[in-house]
A and B are shown apart, each in its own frame.
Chain A
Amino acid sequence: AQKITQTQPGMFVQEKEAVTLDCTYDTSDQSYGLFWYKQPSSGEMIFLIYQGSYDEQNATEGRYSLNFQKARKSANLVISASQLGDSAMYFCAMREELAQGGSEKLVFGKGMKLTVNP
């Protein structure tokens, strides 16, 4: 069984500063994928970034980067130059491949709330 742990229930950061959101995972699979999603107060889940277990380089998408440390089983999200619009819930998730029809599902962490202060 897979497990995603996000230990920080909430964080505060000043606008324009960088912030790291922690995520650790537990799996016995060799091939897996890790996702980060953002959920603003409006409720929609927004995909931010993806890291495959075999990817040698850390994933980056604009101001988002993923600090992937495979041996430590951590996949921390780094947001550079925080903006007020970054205030939201953030969820780490792991892709679990299923036997049925080659499908997959995501296992989510409990999420953490980021507040960016002006």
Chain B
Amino acid sequence: DVKVTQSSRYLVKRTGEKVFLECVQDMDHENMFWYRQDPGLGLRLIYFSYDVKMKEKGDIPEGYSVSREKKERFSLILESASTNQTSMYLCASSSLLAGVVYEQYFGPGTRLTVT
């Protein structure tokens, strides 16, 4: 059974703290993604990675960075958390197999509150 796990379901941090959100997938997928989800805005792509040590900016990368040292792990880093980064964060992964419908598999999400 395919699985994407995220380190925390709920997280509360203070303004200015450095925050790490971890995501691990066990499907040997090449692609990994970080989204944030806010009411009325849907899911917005923060960063993605299509290979180890590779990263690409998504639509809203400001205030975030990522790290992918191993194929199965993709970390989202908030260098200095701010209240406007309070949100639900979703990690996803997908395969690069050509000719296959490669839907993205999502983790359970981390609801981050920055106070």
Interface residues of A (CB under 8 A from B): 33, 35, 37, 42-47, 50, 52, 91, 93, 98, 100-111
With A43-B88, A44-B109 already in contact, the answer to whether A108 and B51 are too (CB < 8 A) is no
With A35-B103, A101-B54, A104-B102 already in contact, the answer to whether A91 and B92 are too (CB < 8 A) is no
With A50-B101, A109-B42 already in contact, the answer to whether A45 and B106 are too (CB < 8 A) is yes
B65, chain A: closest CB distance, angstroms = 18
Interface residues of B (CB under 8 A from A): 30-31, 33, 35, 40-45, 48, 50-51, 54, 56, 58, 88, 90, 92, 94, 96, 98, 101-109, 111
Nearest residue (CB) in A for B44 is A108
Output the residue of B33, B42, B90, B105 with the most chain A CB within 10 A: B42
Docked pose: A97 CA to B11 CA in angstroms: 33
Are B50 and A91 neighbours in the complex by a CB distance under 8 Å? Answer: no
Taking CB atoms, residues of chain A closer than 8 Å to B104 are: 45, 47, 106
Taking CB atoms, residues of chain B closer than 8 Å to A98 are: 50, 56
Nearest residue (CB) in B for A111 is B42
Taking CB atoms, residues of chain A closer than 8 Å to B92 are: 45
Q: Which of B33, B58, B96, B101 is the one whose CB lies under 8 Å from A52?
A: B101
B85, chain A: closest CB distance, angstroms = 18
Are B103 and A50 neighbours in the complex by a CB distance under 8 Å? Answer: yes
**Ordered nearest first, which 4 A-B pairs have the shortest CB separation?**
A103-B50, A45-B106, A110-B42, A108-B43
Q: List 26 A-B contacts (CB under 8 A).
A: A37-B106, A43-B108, A43-B111, A44-B108, A44-B109, A45-B104, A46-B106, A47-B104, A50-B101, A52-B101, A91-B42, A98-B56, A100-B56, A101-B30, A101-B51, A102-B96, A103-B31, A104-B94, A105-B48, A106-B43, A106-B45, A106-B104, A107-B45, A109-B42, A110-B40, A110-B42
